């Protein structure tokens, strides 16, 4: 877990503003993931990336965008199109997507609040 | 897509009793089933996992069982302690090849476990 960092810990967004959440890992993992967690609910997948320079939409991708230009970095942008962005955002990584590589390890999370 | 249902949503036990949490999944392509423990405001931590070629796995006071035919798996905690109090999540992870859903995990909604001293 210590090898995955997220920043900032808290983030405030104004109406119509795009904000970017950082996720970095030094575990040499191929796969990375972004989840959204609302109070009292489970984790919902926003985007995931099986390998650098590639990513796929998860179950709730609308209003979000990502990039995977470097193996160790998978930033998430919450756009103004996301009308209800207040949530706890968790980044995770796994060694890969193949059998035996799928165990995901989570970062400490970023709490996004709307002003 | 995959759908994971988790029960119960809340569970209260006396210290020393056992706790059981159950999950069902829908996609037969799922082949890896981790369980996570999440304390308030913290990140989920993996506590145990099981693969589809195994029926049961145990690690000290924690065990997981998997019934592939019925598509359900369960977490068993014995001799519960107050520090076991947390939210527990099950997940089902899809197998497959590159550029499919391989590695994608679907989570249950969580079970809040309270262990009373």
Give the 3-state DSSP-derived string for chain A, with helices as H, strands as E and coil as C: CCCEEEECCEEEECCCCCEEEEEEECCCCCEEEEEEECCCCCEEEEEEECCCCCCEECCCCCCEEECCCECCECCEEECCCCCCCCEEEEEEEECCCCCCCCCCEECCCEEEEEC
Q: What is the pLDDT of residue B66?
A: 97
Residues A55-83 have pLDDT tens digits of 999 999 999 999 999 999 999 999 998 88
How confident is the model at residue A18, as a pLDDT? Answer: 94
At A105, is the pLDDT very low, low, confident or very high (cuts 50, 70, 90)? very high
Backbone angles phi, psi at B41, to 5 degrees: 75, 5
Across B12-44, b (16+ Cβ under 10 Å) vs e yields: ebeeeeebbbbbbbebebbbbbbbbbbeeeebb
* Segment B23-28 mean pLDDT: 96
d(CA A69, CA A24): 12
Q: CA-CA distances (angstroms) from residue A57 to A45, A63, A84, B6, B71?
A: 8, 11, 18, 24, 26
Query: What pLDDT digit, counting tens, does each position of B52-68 carry?
Result: 888 999 999 999 999 99
Kindly indicate the confidence band of residue B101, based on its pLDDT and cuts at 50, 70 and 90: confident
Residue B100 pLDDT: 73
A2 touches chain B (CB under 8 A): no
Closest CB to A97 among B6, B44, B98: B98
Predicted pLDDT at A75: 98
Report strand pairing: B72-77 vs B62-67.
Answer: antiparallel
B106 interface with A at CB cutoff 8 Å: yes
Distance between CA atoms of residues A68 and A84, nearest Å: 25
> Is the pLDDT reported for residue B98 higher than 80?
no
pLDDT band at B103 (very low <50, low <70, confident <90, very high): confident
Cα distance from A64 to chain B (closest Cα, Å)?
A: 18
Distance of residue B106 Cα from the nearest chain A Cα, in angstroms: 7
pLDDT tens digit sequence for A3-62: 999 999 999 988 889 999 999 999 999 999 999 999 888 999 999 999 999 999 999 999
Q: What is the percentage of chain B residues whose pLDDT exceeds 90?
A: 85
Gap from B3 CA to chain A (nearest CA, Å): 11
The pLDDT confidence band at residue A114, using thresholds 50, 70 and 90, is confident
Select from B49, B89, B98 the Cβ nearest to the Cβ of A43.
B89
Smallest Cβ distance to A42: which of B51, B89, B93? B89
CA distance A105 to A93: 5
Predicted local confidence at residue A2, as pLDDT:
57
Say if B45 is an interface residue toward chain A (CB within 8 Å): yes
Q: Does B31 touch chain A (CB under 8 A)?
A: yes
Q: Are A62 and A46 in contact (CB under 8 A)?
A: no
Which of A12-16, A38-42, A87-91, B27-31 shows the highest mean pLDDT? A87-91
| CB-CB contact of B62 with B76 (8 Å) | yes
Q: What is the mean pLDDT of residues B25-42?
A: 94
Q: Kindly determine whether residue B103 and residue A50, on different chains, have CB atoms separated by under 8 Å.
A: yes
- Minimum-distance CB partner of A102 among B43, B99, B103: B103
Pairwise CB contact (< 8 Å): B108 & A42 = yes
Tell whether A96 lies on the interface with B, counting CB pairs under 8 A.
yes
Is the pLDDT confidence value at A1 over 60?
no
- pLDDT surpasses 80 at B97: no
């Amino acid at each position: 877990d210590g090898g995955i960092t997220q920043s900032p810990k808290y983030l405030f967004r104004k109406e119509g503003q795009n904000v970017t959440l950082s996720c970095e890992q030094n575990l040499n993992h191929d796969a990375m993931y972004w989840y959204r967690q609302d109070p009292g609910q489970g984790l919902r997948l926003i985007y995931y990336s099986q390998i650098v320079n590639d990513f796929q939409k998860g179950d709730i991708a609308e209003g979000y965008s990502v990039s995977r230009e470097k193996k160790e970095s998978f930033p998430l942008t919450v756009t103004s199109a996301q009308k209800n962005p207040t949530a706890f955002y968790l980044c995770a990584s796994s060694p890969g997507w193949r059998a035996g590589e799928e165990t995901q390890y989570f970062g400490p999370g970023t709490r996004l609040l709307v002003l | 897509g995959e759908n994971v249902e988790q029960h119960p949503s809340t569970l209260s036990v006396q210290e020393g009793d056992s706790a059981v949490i159950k999950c069902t999944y829908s996609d037969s392509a799922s082949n890896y089933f981790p369980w996570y423990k999440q304390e308030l405001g913290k990140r989920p931590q993996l506590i145990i996992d099981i693969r589809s070629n195994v029926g049961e796995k145990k690690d000290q006071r924690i065990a997981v069982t998997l019934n592939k035919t019925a598509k359900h798996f369960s977490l068993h905690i014995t001799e519960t302690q107050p520090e076991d109090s947390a939210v527990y999540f099950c997940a089902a992870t899809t197998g497959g090849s590159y550029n499919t859903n391989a590695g994608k995990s679907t989570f249950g909604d969580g079970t809040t476990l309270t262990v009373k001293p």
